[in-house]
Amino acid sequence: MSAADTVEEAAPENDCAIGVDIGGTKVAAGLVDAEGTVVARTRRDTPDRSCSPRVVENTIVGAVEELLDRAGDEGRAVSAVGIGAAGFVGADRATVVFAPHLSWRDEPLRESLGSRIGRPITVDNDANAAAWAESRFGAARGESHVVMITLGTGIGGALVIDHELQRGRFGTAGEFGHMQVVPDGIRCECGNRGCWEQYASGNALVREARGLMSARSPVAEDLLARVGGDPSRLAGPLVTEAAREGDPTARELIAEIGHWLGVGMAGLAAAFDPGSFVIGGGVSAAGELLLDPAREAFRRRLPGRGYRPEARIVQAALGPDAGLIGAADLARHESGPAH
């Protein structure tokens, strides 16, 4: 029996929930049915971090109210609202302890929104929401033990074990990006050195590419041409585009990110023994150019290699919708009769 079969066995056809995914640049919201299909969506720009919590709250409420109106027009019932936030969410699933891109510090978000939205509200970390969506409806559907890794500016992550999200004692499990993989390595924004995300993330990819470009290395000529000779204009998607078009340096850079991705996953396999690793986030758009080197490094570093089953390593299937789909589905289950 799959995870999809164990929860919401008799959901009405028109039963929907609203999921809100709050990122550094946009607030994406969707009306999501019981099968994980986004039937309506809207988006807003994320308020600047200098804005007060009330401004962010108003942005969320505006998006939710728009979707509630659209649901009403279509005769759909909305049972709950789920919020996926980039940051630390407390074990109470109600408080955003810290959000790096917003002004939230110990923000009682569920309480603040509850009186205005008029639906049960669930708050969770955005990577948790994405992992839940991929395990319920996406690349790991039916898999009982899943590690989700999101490669963006940094590295986020989440754990699903026995079809249940594992949030940790204080609600902040899954911060895989800050595991140390290189003693005394590159300084990380968290204050430590050698963190995984300094070697296997979008920031790492851009840093290495700009280093070659700034040195005027002949191997970076194609990348330099793509940004008019200005390394500061380089972004991760451009490196991925160049790699797909056959640029050998871009391919080498992505393969290096893939290598470090595999190194970190081997450590996670030793700790959690998952059946699947699901790789999401913007850097995952490189597809097999990233995943093939990751699988190779994973096999070489896996403890007991050759004598144990290996986890699948797959690209996420739901793309940028994963966060809002997962947030909506978690909210639906949290507000159900069993809760």
Radius of gyration of the chain (CA): 20
For residues 155 and 222, membership in a common domain is answered with yes
For residues 32 and 121, membership in a common domain is answered with yes
pLDDT band (50, 70, 90) for residue 153 = confident
Neighbouring CB atoms inside 10 A of 47's CB total 20
For residues 109 and 179, membership in a common domain is answered with no
For residues 169 and 306, membership in a common domain is answered with yes
* Residue 160 located in a structural domain: yes
For residues 98 and 206, membership in a common domain is answered with no
* Residue 303 located in a structural domain: yes
* Residue 171 located in a structural domain: yes
Position 339 scores a pLDDT of 45
CA pair distance 129, 172, nearest whole angstrom = 13
Q: How many domains, the chain? A: 2
Report the run of H or E that residue 15 belongs to, with start and end.
strand 15-22
CA distances (Å), 66 to each of 27, 35, 55, 59, 90, in order? Answer: 13, 22, 17, 11, 28
Position 2 scores a pLDDT of 40
The CATH number covering residue 106 comes to 3.30.420.40
For residues 226 and 283, membership in a common domain is answered with yes
For residues 302 and 327, membership in a common domain is answered with no
Give per-residue pLDDT as tens, 282-304.
999 999 999 999 999 999 999 98
For residues 93 and 129, membership in a common domain is answered with yes
* Residue 94 located in a structural domain: yes
* Residue 242 located in a structural domain: yes
pTM: 0.88
Position 336 scores a pLDDT of 65
For residues 189 and 73, membership in a common domain is answered with no
Amino acid at 264: G
* Residue 31 located in a structural domain: yes
Give per-residue pLDDT as tens, 15-64.
899 999 998 778 999 999 999 999 999 999 988 877 888 898 999 999 99
Position 338 scores a pLDDT of 45
For residues 127 and 154, membership in a common domain is answered with no
For residues 185 and 299, membership in a common domain is answered with yes
For residues 160 and 308, membership in a common domain is answered with yes
Position 27 scores a pLDDT of 92
Structural domain range at position 8? 3-137+320-334
Q: What mean pLDDT, rounded, does the chain reach?
A: 91
* Residue 198 located in a structural domain: yes
* Residue 339 located in a structural domain: no
Average pLDDT over residues 132-142: 97
Position 225 scores a pLDDT of 95
